[in-house]
Amino acid sequence: MTDRTLLDQLIAQEQRLVFESFGVEDAWQLGVALREAAAARRLPVAISVRRNGQRLFHSALSGASADNDGWLDRKCAVVDRYGCSSLRVGEQFRVAGKSFDTDARLDLTTYAAHGGAFPILVRGTGCVGTVAVSGLPQLEDHQLVVDVLELVLGLRE
């Protein structure tokens, strides 16, 4: 798959995975669904759901470490800054022939454009928060989040 093909897929995901509203209960349900999916597969991940900068759900499964919490923070900072998935931001730089790590000119102790953080998008409002997973290779982190968002939004059984 080319970088451009992946970037187009990431953009399409963000256009499709949109909530009508997103409150505290929605955050809890999304977090629990992610935790259950990860536990069923015995994945060593940490999970975060945030709205407007407030952490509403956090969980770590066996095998996850404090390093994963750092990755969650850095990936979510990218979503907060750019309003799109952390993987998409990294791909946008790659498609342009650049590197996020050098060309974004941001503090890499604060930002990481690696897959796993996805914007919580509300129709008519835009990005109101983040959902993120850390502990797997970046494409797998991203796909876990997308799979569970599809389930929660009723786009997949």
Residues 26-36: tens digit of each pLDDT: 999 999 999 99
Q: Which two tokens stand for residue 104?
A: 């974004």
Domain that holds residue 97: 3-152
Is 157 part of any domain?
no
Instruction: Look up the pTM and report it.
Output: 0.96
pLDDT digits (tens, 9 = 90+) for 55-65: 999 999 999 99
> Which domain CATH number covers 66?
3.30.450.150
Q: Which two tokens stand for residue 72?
A: 């969650």
Could you give the C-alpha distances from 104 to 42, 97, 98, 109, in angstroms and in order? Answer: 35, 12, 9, 13
Is 93 part of any domain?
yes
Residue 2 has pLDDT above 70, yes or no: no
- Region of 154 please: left (phi>0), alpha (psi -120 to 50) or beta: left
- What average pLDDT is seen over the chain? 96
Total domains present in the chain: 1
| Percent of the chain residues topping a pLDDT of 90 | 96
pLDDT of amino acid 80:
97
Percent of residues in the chain assigned helix, strand, coil, to nearest 5? 50, 20, 30
Q: Which two tokens stand for residue 37?
A: 């999916």
